Amino acid sequence: MQRIYIDMDGVLCDFKAAYLESKAAHPEIEFPQSVVGIFKSLTPIPGAINAVNELRTKAEVYILSAPSTRNPHSYSEKRIWVEEHFDYPFTKNLILCCHKHLLRGDFLIDDFGTGKGQDRFEGELIHFGSDRFPDWPAVTAYLRNKISP
C-alpha cells in the first residue's frame, strides 16, 4: 500500500487567513502564529476533508506538519484540529516534524517546495497550490491514477 504524507497549514487548513487575522488583531505581537488558539481554529481548505477521507480508503495516509516553534501550543492544537475535522483514529497518523525529508513514503503533498526538507523527500512532491496542482480536485484526480489498487 502506498504512503501519502499531507501537510496541514496551507494544504488542509487555511493558515494564511488566520495568520493575517491574528496579525491585524494583535499588531503588537511579532509572530502572529504564536497566539494561543490559532492552530485549533483553522478553517479547512475547500475539498480537503473529503479528499483526505477518499485517500484514506486507498492508501496509507499521514498528516505531516511542521509545528510552530514560536507557539508550543501548536503541537496540541494541531492534534485537536485533526480529531475535530476527521476522527480520533486519524490522530494517530499525525506526525509533527520540521524535517520532512526524514520520512519515507511515496507522495508528499505540501504547499512549499523547500524549507522543511520537502526538496529532499525521497518520494514525489506534489506542490499544492501550484499551476499543476492548484486545488484538491487536481490532486485527487492525479493520485487516483497513481495509487495502486
* 9 noted as active-site residue: yes
Residue 61 contacts residue 1 (beta carbons within 8 Å): no
Residue 45 contacts residue 13 (beta carbons within 8 Å): yes
Q: Which of 7, 14, 106, 110 is catalytic?
A: 7
CA torsion angle 45 128 64 73 (round to 10): -50
- Give strand ranges (E) for 66-138: 94-96, 107-110, 124-127
Q: Which of 9, 14, 106, 110 is catalytic?
A: 9
At 9, phi and psi to the nearest 5? -70, 120
The three cell numbers locating residue 32: 502572529
* 135 noted as active-site residue: no
The residues that are catalytic are 7, 9
